[in-house]
Amino acid sequence: MLFAKKSVEGAEPQVHPKGIERATIAIFAVFVALCLLVVFVVDQALNSAEQFTNRSADARATAIARSYANYLSERTAAADVLARTVAFQYRNHTGKVDLTRLVAAGLLAPTDQTLVTLVNADGMVVQAWPTSPESTVHLGDREHFVAQQNSVKDELYIGAPVFGRVSNVWTLQFTRKLFDGAGRFAGVVVVSEPLDFFTKSFANHANLGTDGAVLAFRQDGRLLVRASSDGTPLPTGEALDRYVGSDGSSNFIFDPVDHHRRLYARQPVPGYPITAIVALSVRDIYADLERQKNAYWGWAFLLVLALTAAAFLAKSYVRTLLQQRAIEAKIAETDQLTGLGNRRALDTYTTDRFKRDDRPPVALVLFDIADFAVINERYGDDVGDSFLRMVANRLTQLTSTADLVVRVKSDQFGVVLSGNEPAARALEFVRALFDSYRFPVHFRGYSQDVTLSVGIGTSEYEDAPGALRGQASYALDLAKRATSQTQRNEYRVYDHAMFQQFGDERGIDEAVHEAVLHGGIEAACTPTLNPRANTVVGIWAEPLLRRSTGEALAAGTFMDAADRSRLSNSVWTLAIEHATHTVARFGDDSLLWVRVPVTFIRDIDPDRYISPNSLSPARYRLAVSGLLDRQLDEISVARITALRGRGVMIYAVVNLDRGTPFALLSALPIDGLVIEGDWVQASPASSTAAPVLNGLIEAAAATGWQTVVTGVTTPEQLAWLSARSVATVSGPYVDATWPVSLHQN
């Protein structure tokens, strides 16, 4: 049992505990040292191999990039020779050039895929080889034509890839100016080459590996062509500045096009404004290194495995001795239902720890099962006990390194973690705990969703007996409040802000006790309005705590403290009593509205808060929250039925933000609905909220229920609601426009 890891003073172990401790430390120290040595040696060897691989890859990429730059220079020169020849013939023959004749005469030696086009000064295609266009083609808007037309230089211009209007394929454009006999601009000669003109003999697996690439860019950074190692050329891609930084440089980056990581090397193309880039795949570069790593780490793993086996044999021996001592743990510190430690075990642990001189940091995790009461009510105590044993078994599996695991009370469990960074370990445990209850649990043939509230306290703020549990309990209370609102797993960690807040809330707890005992509970009243007649028909009442100093606390400030102190029912009873006398002074037709939880209706006898002598039961309106959370139990149904029989009207509080289960709502024994939440705030301005709210109001009216809407903040909301089947409204705007004091006067 985990809780028995702490020492027991009356035990008679066969081996002195100090000797066991020293042996265990020595075994694991040697184990860790040997493992670290193995890891260090392997890591150093692999680091050296990786550095060598990087240097080799860098040298290879640079060499291939230079070779590719020379290849591009040769290919560009070939295209330039064609363009120069045509331009020379054009000028010498005063514009009378027959491309077919030049090819036949051997003055031009284009490839089968080359297209040579003559374009006049107006941008019109006048001749093309090997075939002329069937219709008029205008190239005056092309980049290469515009650049040559506007340039004062007579030089080769390499255009960006275009979809040819003559060739009807993607091509690279190499252009030179044409001049007439007087030396004036007469057009351009365009040598069009397919995209693979720059990659055909170079983009292959031999040069680039399995996932390499080559890229060619103009001097302005525009991509000319990109090809992968399978030889497929592409005309589109990112600009040069998305790759390597400068000529002659190389680096590992993720390709912005296909997001593969490669080693990029950049080289200028001799004689032309082109930049060549070669990209080698990281997978190819590190293939041999990965095989080497696998071999090294494989042998290292086998060695560590052997060391682990030896260490565990030694650990098993030590554990056997510890188990012999744990058998003699005191029965008084064992929870008989689950076999875990109990509350006394936790108190003993914290007390014994405080007596020690060397106290490592410690964290206490307390968690509550929010659904346990439902399980007991629905299935009975025997099934509830089986559920707790299941929780204990699962908890034991999650806490193999914990100092102490206890069942503190009922459905509350605790886990103590000490050593280095206990808070971090506590959070790690909480994550594992939440993860283990992601899905419904099964026990005794039943299935149940489990919602947990977790509080974490540490010795960081106050290291004293009792302080650790107090911190964790306070954090647990905050987590339980959050769980009640979100209906989800929640956790809270005690921190400096809580340390301050803890003191403040203890002051509020004392104020609640004082007010309940000595008449400090009153009712804060706000008006309820008939929106059609614009008349106040009653008041809403909620608890108000008035301290002996005269300071008044609103319900939102102290009701959580009342819940913690189990005084909330008393607070509601006293508040209703105070509000009853207030409403009695308003007249015979004024109504008293009170919003109470369903637990108040179930637990408190109506005779304690319904006062027929002061106010007729027919003037009470109870808005009950929590009716839609789950199926009502028989006691609650009986209480509601009895109240309605006496003339009290019961309303279900509906918050549209949390949803409205039809099956529960349709079966409720109620007289109407009280609608609240952000959907009310958004109406009528929201085109989504207004129809939904209107639909619920009209559906309630069709059912015969009265509808009350709270939270009215603007005159526009009031005007919109007055046109609907709404009996009464309330909220800040109503309170400001028709204050209770004015109505009372």
Asked whether the beta carbons of 244 and 254 are under 8 A apart, the reply is no
CA distance 17 to 316: 15
- Of 430-434, 468-472, 741-745, the least confident: 741-745
CATH 3.30.70.270, the chain: domain bounds: 343-494
Cα within 13 Å of Cα(306), Cβ side:
7
CA distance 372 to 387: 9
pTM given for the model: 0.44
CATH 3.20.20.450, the chain: domain bounds: 506-743
By three-state DSSP, how is residue 283 classified? helix
- pLDDT of 704 > 80? The answer is yes
Asked whether the beta carbons of 53 and 289 are under 8 A apart, the reply is yes
Cα within 13 Å of Cα(740), Cβ side:
21
pLDDT band at 130 (very low <50, low <70, confident <90, very high): confident
Please identify which residue in the block is written with the tokens 């293939």: 287
- pLDDT of 236 > 60? The answer is yes
| Nearest-5° Cα angle at 224, 220 to 226 | 125
pLDDT digits (tens, 9 = 90+) for 286-345: 888 888 889 888 888 888 888 888 888 877 777 676 666 656 656 788 888 888 988 888
Residues in contact with 524: Cβ distance below 8 Å, sequence separation at least 6, in sequence order = 541, 542, 543, 544, 554, 555
CATH class of the domain whose range is 506-743: alpha beta
By three-state DSSP, how is residue 625 classified? strand
Please tell me the CATH superfamily of domain 343-494, with its number: Reverse transcriptase/Diguanylate cyclase domain (3.30.70.270)
- Of 139-148, 313-322, 399-408, 715-724, the least confident: 313-322
CA distance 30 to 374: 53
Asked whether the beta carbons of 521 and 513 are under 8 A apart, the reply is no
The CATH classification number of 49-284 equals 3.30.450.20
pLDDT band at 246 (very low <50, low <70, confident <90, very high): low
pLDDT digits (tens, 9 = 90+) for 541-568: 999 998 888 888 888 888 888 887 788 8
- Of 285-289, 323-327, 347-351, 598-602, the least confident: 323-327
- pLDDT of 77 > 90? The answer is yes
Residue-level pLDDT at 92? 87
pLDDT band at 2 (very low <50, low <70, confident <90, very high): very low
| Nearest-5° Cα angle at 623, 677 to 565 | 90
Residue-level pLDDT at 630? 76
- Cα distances (angstroms) measured from residue 166 to each of 139, 142, 191, 275, 322: 10, 13, 12, 28, 90
CATH 3.30.450.20, the chain: domain bounds: 49-284
Share of the chain above pLDDT 70, in %: 92
- Of 397-401, 432-436, 447-451, 498-502, the least confident: 498-502
How many residues can be counted in the chain?
745
- Residue that wins the pLDDT comparison between 698 and 667: 698
Share of the chain above pLDDT 90, in %: 19
Asked whether the beta carbons of 615 and 648 are under 8 A apart, the reply is no
- pLDDT of 663 > 80? The answer is no
- Residue that wins the pLDDT comparison between 78 and 246: 78
Task: List strand residue ranges (DSSP E) for 381-465, in order.
Answer: 404-409, 412-418, 441-443, 446-448, 452-458
pLDDT band at 695 (very low <50, low <70, confident <90, very high): confident
